[in-house]
Structure 1
Amino acid sequence: MKISVNSLFGVLLIAGLNGCGSTPKNPNDGRYHISQDIAPDRLPQDHEMIDPTPIYEVPSRGGNKDYQVLGKHYKVLKTSEGFSEEGVASWYGKKFHGHLTSNGETYDMFAMSAAHKTLPLPTYVKVTNLANNKQAIVRVNDRGPFHDGRIIDLSYAAAFKLGVTKSGTAKVKIEALHSAPGFYVEVENAQQQAELSDKSAAIAALFQIPTKVIESSGAFRLIAGPLTEQSQAMDLVNNLNQSGYPQAKIYQPKQNLLQLNPN
């Protein structure tokens, strides 16, 4: 039976996310509408399987402290720099869809995301299915899987893209990725992620540019990019301002990993 950390979030939060004396919730308790995890009623659409672009994100407020599950202690890595690993990948789907991930986001089985036991949240990783050489980039925002011998739990969309849903599990290699070079634009920020989700899709369709909602400095931010030239980023800011997004500006993360210059 699959055990996802989605079922653990409340317990870990109460315990200060340090796992001290905490025990996991029963994944079959009343929190979930179904007792066993199953595939969704439809297949992922092409746009749902587009690889996310790695971007610097401030470490999540939740899910980044050492913890304990089923009597085993897990030490969260301080950095993902140079991280790679080979092992078995599995996937999680409908049972956990709409519930909280370990860093407090909402799990979407049609997003390109994943769960890992010790990588910092969030971390972008490249996953290679060693049986068919298919590759995908996923954003790790959850903890798990806690079955012996498994190293990563993929969202259904990511697993489908990699060909893992046919077999249920697959031998994979995962490699941590870091910020892609380029220029980014912050379209808008809000206190709730849901306020930006629809706008993210609309901006991506209107301007034909990748978008994502990230958590940063206690707020959620709708980010567009990357763009190869600073002049392109400034043009996008101007177009967004004229399209009803007066807050749009060049995105400058706290750590200057993207080498942006807002002037």
Structure 2
Amino acid sequence: MALTHRRVLPALIAFGVCLSLATPALAESRASEAAASREADAQPTPKSGTDHTGKPRVGKASFYHDRFVGRKMANGKPMRAEDDNAASLTLPLGTTARVTNLETGQSTVVTIEDRGPYVDGRIVDLSPSSAEAIGLTREQGLAPVEVAPIEVPLPDGTVKMGAGAAN
């Protein structure tokens, strides 16, 4: 029995050394394959807790600072100040929604293409052109708004008509 242990133990040690040397290379290879796959798909994954109800929400709107113009949004496209895009933490990417300034009554239709805002009480970040369309100025910075989804993409690929579709 002692003879068997003398032969098995070195073999196990050699196997362990080989495995420990191969594991980092294998992990790196898998990580680069996963990253390449994510880039090739370029489809954002909805966060859990995403709101697919289509119900309107009330809160504060802010707008993108100039420093975000040209940066990639969550959907992979660059943020353009003149586009009617917006950011929401809860609405699925690709949702179209009517944003109405509750002080002025002005509204605009936006597409949710990014995630944010990351400040309590704010429910939407608007592109500069969308903010201007509802009368939200840089001097104000914030405005009370209603965000009423028009079309909400569902996980199964279908689209749900939201409360904003009736307007």
Once the 2 structures are TM-superposed, how far is the Cα of residue 106 of structure 1 from its aligned partner? 1.3
| C-alpha distance after superposition, 1:228-260 (max 9, x if no partner) | xxxxxxxxxxxxxxxxxxxxxxxxxx7599xxx
Runs of 5+ unmatched residues, structure 1 = 1-12, 18-59, 67-74, 180-253, 258-263
* 1:30-79 Cα shifts (integer Å, max 9, x gaps): xxxxxxxxxxxxxxxxxxxxxxxxxxxxxx7114234xxxxxxxx223x2
Aligned match of 2:151: 178
Aligned pairs (5 A) from 1:43-192? 61-66=43-48, 75-77=49-51, 79=52, 81-165=53-137, 166-178=139-151
After the TM superposition, which residues 220-259 of structure 1 pair with which residues of structure 2 at under 5 Å, given as runs? none
**2:23 paired residue number:** none
What is the SS of the residue equivalent to 2:129? helix
8 Å contact kept, 2:151–2:159: no
* Contact 1:63/1:103 (8 A) holds in 2: no
Distance change (3 Å), C-alpha of 1:256 and 1:132: closer
Question: Structure 1's 255 and 62: CA in aligned 2 closer, same or farther, altered over 3 A?
Answer: closer
Q: How many residues align?
A: 118
Read off the aligned partner of 1:132 and give its amino acid letter: T
User: Tell me, what secondary structure is at the counterpart of 2:109?
Assistant: strand
Separation (CA, whole Å) in 2 of partners of 1:255 and 1:118? 18
For residue 178 of structure 1, give the secondary structure of its aligned residue in structure 2.
strand
Give 1:172's aligned amino acid: V
TM, length-normalised to structure 1: 0.41
Q: Which whole-Å CA distance do the structure 1 matches of 2:86 and 2:151 have between them?
A: 16
TM-score (norm 2): 0.63
RMSD: 2.7
2 CA distance for matches of 1:64 and 1:168? Answer: 28
Aligned in 2, Cα 1:256/1:97: closer, same or farther, shift over 3 Å? Answer: closer
CA gap of 1:161–1:65, structure 2 versus 1, over 3 A, is: same
SS of aligned partner of 1:95: helix
Compute the displacement of 1:136 (Å).
0.4
**Structure with larger RCO (C-alpha < 8 A, sep 6+):** 2
Determine which structure has the larger helix proportion and give its number. Answer: 2
- Percent of aligned positions with the same letter in both sequences? 33
